[in-house]
Amino acid sequence: MKKLVTVLSVFTLSFGVFASTSFAASETSGTAQFSGGSLNIEVPASTTFTSLQLSGTVQTTTANLDNLTVVDSTGSGNGWNVKVTASPLQRTTDQYTLPENSMRLLAPTVTAGEGSSSESAIVTNGGVIDNSLGVLLLNAPEAEGKGTFNTSFAENALSLTLSPDTALAGEYSTTLTWNVVSGPAN
Using the predicted structure, report yes or no on whether residue 40 has a pLDDT greater than 90. Answer: yes
Burial of residue 70 (number of CB atoms within 10 Å: 0-12, 13-18, 19+): buried
Mean pLDDT calculated for residue range 133-151 = 98
Question: Of 2-16, 59-73, 101-115, where does mean pLDDT reach its minimum?
Answer: 2-16
- Report whether pLDDT(3) > 50: no
Q: 151 with 180: CB under 8 angstroms? A: no
Angle ∠(181,179,43) on CA atoms, nearest 5: 125
Looking at residue 22, its pLDDT comes to 58
**Beta-bridge partner residues of 88:** none
Choice among 16-30, 33-47, 106-120, 166-180 with the minimum mean pLDDT? 16-30
Task: Give the pLDDT of residue 16.
Answer: 45
> What ranges do the domains of the chain cover?
39-169
Asked whether the predicted pLDDT for residue 17 surpasses 60, the reply is no
Instruction: Give backbone dihedrals phi and psi of 18, rounded to 5 degrees, phi first.
Output: -65, -40
- Residue type for position 28: T
Query: pTM, whole model, 2 decimals?
Result: 0.83
**In the structure, what pLDDT confidence band is assigned to residue 21 with cuts at 50, 70 and 90?**
low
